[in-house]
Structure 1
Amino acid sequence: MHIHPLITDSKTLAELCERLSESPYVAVDTEFMRENSYWPDLCLIQIADDKEAAAIDPKAEGLDLKPLLDLLVDNEDVLKVFHAGGQDIEIIHNMTGKTPHPMFDTQIAAMALGQGDQVGYSNLVDSWLGIALDKGARFTDWSRRPLDKRQIEYAIGDVTHLSKIFPKMLEKLRKTGRGQWLDQEMERIADPSNYVTLPDSAWERVKIPSRKAEVLGRLKALAAWREREAQNKNLPRGRIVKDETLADLAAHPPRQQADLSRVRGLSASWAGNDIGSRLMTALAAATPLPASEMPTRDDRKPGLGREGSLVADLLKLLLKIRAREVSVAPRLLARSDELELLAAGQRDGLAILEGWRFDQFGSDALALVEGRLAFAVRHGKLVMTRAENEENQ
């Protein structure tokens, strides 16, 4: 494989992208910094097919990234391969308003091949290529220039390894007939709505014990205000106001801006400065949370009750057994909230009752809920068995 020097000029990048546009797939990775900003600071982009690999410096003066971005988001003939690509995809979405498509994520593929829920990149490379990675450069400052040779080699290694692993994974998926298992998951991570941050939904990430509509309405208003402040200032949310302070303000709202000086977690200067004024304006505009947005009392188990919770626990046990039997990560087969909904009596709109998930797990889960399946111990192992009343029929 040909490894290019660090690309810093538009002509070289355009020529590379033209060649890669003829490839069936490209492996993609990014290096970025986010500790001190709201938006990720893109520092390096790595890309490779089976013939060549390169690192691209997006901070290089005058570099036109359009050919690369067009390749990633507009070229439907080239499959884009990532590993745990959520943050890489978010960066591309921030730059283009689109997501790479079509897409393949090796971490999700590893779930279908029994390598666990969230196999790390180092473990993936070790298991498929027998290579132990040097992790020393992982926590480097990618924003500093110039980048040294070790940094660039480390970064390009991510995509050269990925470009070799992908065909091996694809072949194993074909042999096991599990390729179609991933179609829905790959489309899900390619959905642009996953990467849009809406200020009005930011409150849902903040933990607060209260379930009063007035308190949650204030929390929604404050969280939306903080989100916009963080975006405009390009600072982490917690650098504006920490979650616990936001929850405290929602539960015990100050009557006037001067009272902000007594709020734990805020500087005394907020009692008279502009940001304190904007906080108070957001608070004054808050309205009680509508009933349609109110969380359920136990958050994720509507109507489940004590017996339903026990059934959900049995379904989780069944999930572990089936996942072990078919050598697949449990999370790919079913999510906990789906099991709880099934235990509560819901049948419509559940992924586990459709397609391959129904064949591999959902049919047994339904049989367990309906009393047609039971647990048994055979030769020291926990297995599933048809219930006696069904066997006798």
Structure 2
Amino acid sequence: MFIDSAAELAAFCGRAASSPMLALDTEFLRERTFRPQPCLLQVGTHDEQAAVDVIALTGEALAPLRDLLFDRARVKVLHACSQDLEIFQILFGDIPDPVFDTQVAAAFVGHRLQMGYGALVEAVCGVHLPKTESLTDWTRRPLDPEQVSYAEDDVRYLPAVYDGLVAELVRLDRLTWVLPEMEALVAKARCAADPEDAFRHVKRVGTLNGRQLAVCREVAAWRERKAAQRDVPRKWLLSDEVVIEVSKRMPRTQERLRRVRGTAQLKEKDGDAIVLAVRRGLSCPQDRCPRVVHRARPTQESESVVDLMNALVRLVAERESIAPQLLSGRDDLMAFLDDPASSRLGEGWRRDLMGDILSDLLAGRAGLTVKDGRVELL
């Protein structure tokens, strides 16, 4: 059903309150704004689904839905939830928990990492979902029945997928592995982004030195705050390419700033603000200039060791039916090689699954061989 009235929403939430889980998804638009613009919030139980119009319903009209979502006794089930959690933050000022992400859970039971929702539904439920409305402008009203049905499909099958994944996790005794990963997702989403750290996400920031990085920090922070204030995409003010060029040239006047291609659209007051940001970066004490940490290039010998460790990870992942990327990446293996106790592979379920066997491999107490065309542990 499509819900755009407070009375309909209250009635639906009253029925959904008896469900121990809620399947959730969102539709939004972010091409023309700094923050994503919420358009629909889809809610599903085992019995029914609804697409809630969060353009028509705002503020107190959403109170029954907020109460439903923020009841900690009820599991909130989503797929690839990071962007959805951002929408909840915008709509409600917080993120409901506990959260269960079916994409993460699927990787613990043998599916590939970052498996799409459609592929997972097909694998678990045997249903092929159409992609006919994937480029819909969800801000336009009215929505036709096909659009609403497409949106509701995103929660229609989630309860069955959730039930199947939980049953498999329990069978494999891995539910305790998954839950901390879910808690980490929510904790990360709750951390407010600091404009002073925005420079770290600028493309090619690794090409800058200390003083240039100080300028980049100030210019990127100005862009972050101004884009948020005007609610426009960052690139509408300055592209990453221009931020990097300004950081390298360090223009101290408007005239020199305008020599950088891509600054012609700037208003004069914005040009003044950027020049001031450059000057702040130039006046930053040397010991307070930021650094982009570059991991030392591994030696040929350590690269070979990591290749062997990675082969072991893939062997264990195949044996345990878990996505190998979930176990570790090359950086995790390098960190384990440097200091096992402080690495991600040295704690929690990863340590239980991989820590001892990796230590045996590095100590020469274990090895790998090929038998009948397959890698096996010695």
Normalised to the residue count of structure 1, the TM-score between the two structures is 0.90
1:91 is aligned to 87
2:226 is aligned to 229
Greater alpha carbon shift after TM alignment, 303-312 vs 111-120: 303-312
User: In 2, distance between residues paired with 1:289 and 1:56?
Assistant: 53
1:333: how far off?
Answer: 1.3
1:67: how far off?
Answer: 2.0
1:1-393 matched pairs, under 5 angstroms:
5-60=1-56, 64-72=61-69, 74-193=70-189, 196-206=192-202, 207-267=204-264, 270=266, 273-286=268-281, 287=284, 290=287, 293-296=290-293, 299=294, 301-302=295-296, 304-343=298-337, 345-385=338-378
Greater alpha carbon shift after TM alignment, 18-27 vs 85-94: 18-27
Identity of aligned residues (%): 33
Residues 99 and 192 of structure 1 are in contact (CA less than 8 Å); yes or no, is this contact kept in structure 2?
A: no
User: In 1, distance between residues paired with 2:373 and 2:141?
Assistant: 60
Amino acid at match of 2:316: R
The count of corresponding residues between Structure 1 and Structure 2 is 374
1:96: how far off?
Answer: 3.0
SS at match of 2:27: strand
Residues 213 and 290 of structure 2 are in contact (CA less than 8 Å); yes or no, is this contact kept in structure 1?
A: no
1:388 is aligned to none
1:304: how far off?
Answer: 4.7
Residues 213 and 290 of structure 1 are in contact (CA less than 8 Å); yes or no, is this contact kept in structure 2?
A: no
**What is the CA deviation profile of residues 66-86 of structure 1, one whole-angstrom value per residue up to 9, with x for unaligned ones?**
2212322x3110000000011
Greater alpha carbon shift after TM alignment, 132-141 vs 13-22: 13-22
User: In 1, distance between residues paired with 2:194 and 2:52?
Assistant: 31
1:211: how far off?
Answer: 4.8
SS at match of 2:157: helix
Greater alpha carbon shift after TM alignment, 60-69 vs 371-380: 60-69
Greater alpha carbon shift after TM alignment, 284-293 vs 315-324: 284-293
Normalised to the residue count of structure 2, the TM-score between the two structures is 0.93
Query: Cα–Cα, structure 1 residues 132 and 193, in superposed 2: closer, same or farther, change >3 Å?
Result: closer
**What is the CA deviation profile of residues 123-143 of structure 1, one whole-angstrom value per residue up to 9, with x for unaligned ones?**
011111111111011111111
User: Could you list the runs of 4 or more consecutive aligned residues of structure 1 that deviate by over 6 angstroms after TM superposition?
Assistant: none
1:157: how far off?
Answer: 1.3
CA-based RMSD = 2.0
Greater alpha carbon shift after TM alignment, 11-20 vs 240-249: 11-20
Residues 105 and 165 of structure 2 are in contact (CA less than 8 Å); yes or no, is this contact kept in structure 1?
A: yes
Residues 214 and 288 of structure 1 are in contact (CA less than 8 Å); yes or no, is this contact kept in structure 2?
A: no
Residues 27 and 39 of structure 2 are in contact (CA less than 8 Å); yes or no, is this contact kept in structure 1?
A: yes
1:278: how far off?
Answer: 1.1
User: In 2, distance between residues paired with 1:12 and 1:40?
Assistant: 25
User: In 2, distance between residues paired with 1:209 and 1:341?
Assistant: 21
SS at match of 2:3: coil
1:306: how far off?
Answer: 4.0
User: In 2, distance between residues paired with 1:99 and 1:306?
Assistant: 45
User: In 2, distance between residues paired with 1:236 and 1:367?
Assistant: 51
Amino acid at match of 2:65: L
Amino acid at match of 2:302: G
Amino acid at match of 1:169: L
User: In 1, distance between residues paired with 2:34 and 2:58?
Assistant: 24
SS at match of 1:164: helix
Residues 28 and 45 of structure 1 are in contact (CA less than 8 Å); yes or no, is this contact kept in structure 2?
A: yes
User: In 2, distance between residues paired with 1:339 and 1:194?
Assistant: 28
